[in-house]
Amino acid sequence: MPVHNSPDDFLELVQERKRGRLKLYIGYAAGVGKTWQILKEAHALRERGVDLVVGLIEPHGRAETASLVGDLEIVPPRRTEYRGLVVEDMDLGGVIARRPEVAVVDEIPHTNVPGSRHNKRYQDVLEILEAGIHVIGALDIQHLESLKDIVERATGVKIRETVPDTFLKRADQIVNVDLTVEDLRDRLENGKIYPQEQVAAALEGLFRETNLATLRELALREVAESVERRAPEQPDRDPAHASGARVMVCVASYSPRAAALLRRASR
């Protein structure tokens, strides 16, 4: 995986091959700037002549994020009635029918409304890639499946939506979007992440300083390891130092910890 992560680098990937390429922006919590970064790159790519659409952006009520969409082309969302509410989701068929070069897809761990073509949005992304459309997307590190148990133990927060590690390995480029814990909490307290009525609960939950520090470390480590895993092998590298370890997991039938053990072993 290339270490460089500018719009020009991704543009080279877009032009290089016909199969869809995937670029992921990863953060350690809401509000670090993932959506801002993917929209910034979207504008930069369009200025370079790339045919780009927004498949889905989740501004979460943040005016500055919504305004950054600007004049980017948006594929109208699919509206579905669910439990008395009208829910908006990405129109997967609409994105594929439009056939842009690049589609922007936010909040990849999202669970689609029942009755959708796929249960999870990351599955929508995989279908878009199979159609030969490149994707720029975003997710937070706590939604990575193999980290679920680690995050829940460290933070006490239940993680309900996950993305399999194989999806992360599918990415051609991964970018860590970082912000200091202090700056992120300041953004939260100033109402730039959640509405003011939700701030106090967030500060006592996932946004505790210790929780954020743990998540930040996990994000930095995961992105660094992803870059290392994708680095080309050196021809003169000593085979004795190659990371070819194998792990065997032994579980009993109907073990309540089987899923957690498998997630741990996958790391």
DSSP state of 120: B
Report the number of distinct structural domains present in the chain. Answer: 1
CB 175 within 8 A of CB 60: no
Residue 30 falls inside a structural domain: yes
Residue 29 falls inside a structural domain: yes
Residue 2 falls inside a structural domain: no
Crossing angle of the two packed helices 148-155 and 258-266, in degrees rounded to 10: 110
Residue 54 falls inside a structural domain: yes
Residue 172 falls inside a structural domain: yes
Q: What is the pLDDT along the chain (267 residues), one digit of tens a residue?
A: 445 567 777 777 666 656 899 999 999 999 999 999 999 999 999 999 999 999 999 887 778 888 999 999 999 999 998 888 999 999 999 999 999 999 999 999 999 999 899 999 999 999 999 999 999 999 999 999 999 999 999 999 999 999 999 999 999 999 999 999 999 999 999 999 999 999 999 999 999 999 999 999 999 999 998 877 766 654 555 544 444 556 676 766 656 666 766 665 665
Domain of residue 97, residue span: 7-266
Instruction: Give the predicted TM-score (pTM) of the model.
Output: 0.81
Residue 1 falls inside a structural domain: no
**CB 10: neighbour CB atoms within 10 A?**
24
Q: Assign residue 162 the CATH number of its domain.
A: 3.40.50.300
Residue 53 falls inside a structural domain: yes
**CB 257: neighbour CB atoms within 10 A?**
11
CB 39 within 8 A of CB 104: yes
